[in-house]
Structure 1
Amino acid sequence: MIGLPILFVEISSFVVLLCNDRFVLILSSLHLIQKHELMLATHLPAKLVELYLDLRRLTEEQVRDYSEPSSDKLLPDLHPLEQHVFTIVLDLSETLVYSDWKRDRGWRTFKRPGVEDFLEHLAQFFEIIVYSDQQNMYVDPIVDRLDSKQCIRYRLSRGATKYVGGKHYRDLSMLNRDPSRIIYISGNALESNLQPENCVEIKPWKGDVEDTTLLDLIPFLEYVGKHRPADIRTVLASYQGHDIAKEFIERSKEHHRRMQEQKQTGRLWRR
């Protein structure tokens, strides 16, 4: 418990309190603190300047800890035999689940249609990660119930995000994975991630029981998982402005048509 102040020093826009050998620094802005360093050094006793600098370092560390991911290596290394495997990073809210609050029952969380089949099928080809901007106390129980077959290898929550301009962003560069082999899927992909070139943006889900978005996406993702393109970012760029699931089906049909034409041409030449 902090006692009554025995030393009170007001310096423009911030206040230092020294209370029974304990101190509290109340700051309005780190930027403003930097402007006052010279004044502190020339007008205050050396001991108080030292106290201020220690507090300033502590405050900067706390701000940095809040705004930066908890580690610069969020995932452990892939096993040497899995270096070729692609990684699917999935958002949670409005991508795999939807949480809704009503006065008569409080909060309830619903599973997106097809989510279990989606996870189970793609786990054959990919490393699957959930990366949410929610606290782990929200993420963990939901994923536990959602993923009974443990298809999701890792869960990352708010502590692993980067805080910029009042928002928590997923930073795929911190995943310890080859960026050419990462696919980020979210109902709000371009608004929640710092690497748009890795994004597959899907329709945000808000409870529609007829939704088939996840199941529709399986053919494209399975093709990627089996054929492993040199750089998934180039592939995703070729789908920019299109619904990937629908466009992939159209391209597959066109490819099949061309293959049939080539077979017919070959038969004509053999005659």
Structure 2
Amino acid sequence: MDETLIHSTLFKEDTSVAIAPPINYDFLVTFGREVAYVTKRPFVDEFLQYLNQKNFEVVIFTAGSEEYASQVLDRLDPNGFIRHILYRDSRKLVDGKHVHDLSNLGRDLKNVVIVDDKPRSYMLQPENGIPIKRFIDHLQDIE
């Protein structure tokens, strides 16, 4: 999710310090004592709509906490195109790195792809991976 579909700038809430939000952001979410200013990758709305129209099953992997990620996805996907969300506890530790194990999805892997800005995330099934450039705030991004 983060740096693939969106980018968040996090701030801890502190009443003694004024928080200056980034210049460009689409929405914000608050969780615990943190505020996240979220910028959507250009064309992410159209991408999710296209996948839905073609009957793709969209599953989101995120290393973010459930409290943070669920709020982001509620705002990112108000139409419910995303069917499943897997949080940080669904990752597998391999050689000291957290990775996604697509075999845990219970789907035929010949019909599964993972799009991620970190190739190590899909190191267990590299043939299913589609690398994408990391998204921070480049609003002319066309990935």
Q: Do the two structures share a fold, i.e. TM-score over 0.5?
A: yes
Q: Is the counterpart of residue 159 in structure 1 residue 119 in structure 2?
A: no
Q: Which has the higher strand share?
A: 2
SS of the equivalent of 2:63 reads: coil
Greater mean alpha carbon deviation, residues 142-151 or residues 128-137: 128-137
Structure with the larger RCO, 1 or 2 (CA within 8 Å, 6+ apart): 2
2:76 to 146, 162, 168: 146
Percent identity of paired positions between Structure 1 and Structure 2: 36
Which of 88, 92, 99 pairs up with 2:8? 99
Q: Confirm or deny: 8 A CA contact 1:187 1:203 kept in the other structure.
A: yes
Aligned equivalent of 1:132:
62
For the 8 Å contact 1:97–1:111, the answer to whether it is kept is yes
Alpha-carbon distance in 1 for matches of 2:110, 2:103:
11
> Amino acid of the residue matched to residue 19 of structure 2?
D
| Structure 1 residue runs of 4 or more that deviate by more than 4 Å after TM superposition | none
Deviations along 1:42-94, one digit per CA (max 9) or x if unpaired, are xxxxxxxxxxxxxxxxxxxxxxxxxxxxxxxxxxxxxxxxxxxxxxxxxx011
- Partner AA of 1:185 in structure 2: V
- Given the alignment, which residue of 87, 112, 117 partners 2:46? 117
Unaligned segments of structure 1, at least 5 residues: 1-91, 214-271
More helix by share: 1
1:267 corresponding residue in structure 2: none
Shift of 1:137: 1.5
Question: Aligned equivalents of 1:108 and 1:99: distance in 2?
Answer: 5
Amino acid paired to 1:116: D
In 1, the alpha carbon distance for the partners of 2:137 and 2:113 equals 24
User: How far did 1:155 drift?
Assistant: 0.5
Aligned equivalent of 1:171: 101
Check conservation: 1:128, 1:151, Cα contact below 8 A: yes
Shift of residue 164 of structure 1? 2.8
1:40 aligned residue: none
TM-score (ref. length: structure 1) = 0.42
| 1:133/1:168 contact within 8 Å kept | no
1:197 alignment partner AA: E
Aligned-partner residue type, residue 96 of structure 1? L
Q: Displacement of 1:163 after TM fit?
A: 2.0
Q: Name the count of aligned residue pairs.
A: 121
- Report the CA distance shift for 1:135/1:167 in structure 2 as closer, same or farther (over 3 A): farther
The structure having more radius of gyration, on CA atoms, is 1
| More divergent stretch after superposition (152-161 vs 93-102) | 93-102
2:107 is equivalent to residue 192 of structure 1: no
State the shift of 1:159 in Å.
1.4
Q: Distance in 2 between matches of 1:101 and 1:176?
A: 34
CA distance in 2, matches of 1:144, 1:152: 10
